[in-house]
Amino acid sequence: MSQVTADPVAQGISEALNEVKFSRFHFRAIVTAGMGFFTSAYDLCVIGTAAALIDPIWHLQAADTSLLVAASLAATFVGAFVFGRLADVIGRKSIYGIEAILMSIGAIGSAFCPSLIWLVVFRVIMGFGIGGDYPLSAVIMSEYANRKDRGKMVGMVFSCQALGFLAGPLLAVLLLAAGVGHDLAWRILLGAGAIPSLAVILLRRTMPESPRWQARVSGNKYGAAADMAQYTRGLASVTHVNGRDPRINAPLSKYAVTLIGTAGAWFALDYAFYGNSVCMPLIMKGIDPTADLLANLAWGAVIFGAFAVPGYIGAFMFADKIGRKRLQILGFIMMAVSFGAIGLFPQVASSFGLFVVLFGLSFFFTQFGPNVTTFILAAELFPVNQRTTGHGISAGIGKVGACLGVFAFPWLNAQLGVYHALLFAAGFAVLGMLLTLLIKEPAGKSLEHISGEDEAMQDTIAPIKSRRASSMAA
């Protein structure tokens, strides 16, 4: 390993961001990234409720419903890969906002669809945009965050998902309780997703390029220092900036084990989480077949609000204190215990209250654990030139698990019953716990230290300086 010191200005920019206190500019970044994530969560989850409303109108088959629910998740897989790679190659700002435009188009188009095939088409457009939002929102926040509070900041962005998931069933309950017909209700539900995504487009386009990416990938130290000083209003700044220096070029293959850990754990998590969240009306129907759709939606909202929302809050409050890795392992273990208890002891369902508590605990520990931490970890463990790529691959593989969950859960429920379906979810939670052991704990460490990118930059600078020295000697 070369002993050449990495570019001091690039290090200075990183250090300024690492040590600045939690300030107003951090909150602006959280709102900017979090509003898009609220929209992503709303759009992904509301389709389960919309499908239940559409079913008796369009006379959907089981395969039709699964296709409708999985279409956006499959597109999310592709979008996360494509946008993740583009953001590392051409910059975060260059494409930040494009994904929100796609989400808006998808939501508006979905509201006016005349048939299933057109609804699937617009859900695919929307899903492609949602996929891009995962790596961009996570990495933009992690690269502006300080070392001490990074887990809390990135976790707060992701926790906007809780509001998005809760907004769908609540809006559905209000519409149905007000007597709105099913054909109009599902259109309002899907079209409403365009409102927050349209609101956030301008906000995102006015956000500057990530200073870390500019200084370490594009080599534009002057622009990086100027943008950082302006956006933080001078709270984070460096001086003596001039010229361009060699760019970091760390290969993703060097981080293969980390990628298996982040992507694999996310895959396992999303199977259980989306299978249970999107299919919530189906689960509640399996427990109480006499309840109508309005009652099932209301119970789903109560369970999510009472158990999941506190889990999100607890996760971002303690991510830096407990550590992301330990929080993720704890969450997976408790998910497996909760799902396993329901699946192995069907008599639990004879007491609706006991079922609600156990199923609610699974939602609490999903959030107070892997649903939040997989998002945070994938935004921290890769070097700056591969950060959105690594996060995009991880999020994309996660959505493969989500697709599997929304296809498998209804089939398992129909063939074996809701209890066996939850046992499969418990098995995936155990798998996620084991894969988490492959990753490092980044809490309390700088992005540059945990990813090893300063060492990678040294390897890049050393031969260039050596060539310069040889040229001068000649």
What pLDDT is stored for residue 96 in this prediction? Answer: 87
What pLDDT is stored for residue 239 in this prediction? Answer: 63
What burial class does residue 177 get, using C-beta atoms within 10 Å of its C-beta: 0-12 exposed, 13-18 middle, 19+ buried?
A: exposed
Residue 309 lies in a domain: yes
Residue 361 lies in a domain: yes
One pLDDT digit (tens) per residue for the chain, 474 residues:
333 335 677 888 999 999 999 999 999 999 999 998 899 989 988 888 888 889 889 988 877 877 887 888 889 999 999 999 999 999 998 888 899 999 999 999 999 999 999 999 999 999 999 999 999 999 999 999 999 999 999 999 999 988 998 888 889 889 988 999 999 999 999 999 999 888 888 788 788 999 999 988 988 888 888 889 989 988 888 765 555 555 677 888 999 999 999 999 999 999 988 766 655 655 666 556 666 767 777 777 788 888 889 999 999 999 999 999 999 999 999 999 988 888 888 776 567 777 778 888 888 999 999 999 999 999 999 999 999 999 999 999 999 998 888 778 777 777 777 778 888 889 999 999 999 999 999 999 999 999 988 665 555 444 434 344 344 344
Cα–Cα separations (whole angstroms), residue 124 to 73, 137, 405: 8, 20, 18
8 A C-beta contact, residue 225 and residue 9: yes
Residue 414 lies in a domain: yes
Residue 474 lies in a domain: no
Residue 458 lies in a domain: yes
Residue 174 lies in a domain: yes
Q: Which domain holds residue 454?
A: 9-235+253-462
Our count of domains for the chain comes to 1
**Interaxial angle between packed helices 256-278 and 387-416, expressed in degrees from 0 to 180 and rounded to the nearest 10:** 40
State the CATH number of the domain containing residue 145. 1.20.1250.20
Residue 375 lies in a domain: yes
Residue 404 lies in a domain: yes
What pLDDT is stored for residue 201 in this prediction? Answer: 86
What pLDDT is stored for residue 291 in this prediction? Answer: 65
What pLDDT is stored for residue 289 in this prediction? Answer: 65
What pLDDT is stored for residue 263 in this prediction? Answer: 98
Tell me the C-alpha distance between 125 and 107, whole Å.
9
- CA 282 from chain centre, in angstroms, equals 24
Cα–Cα separations (whole angstroms), residue 131 to 103, 173, 335, 406: 10, 28, 25, 17
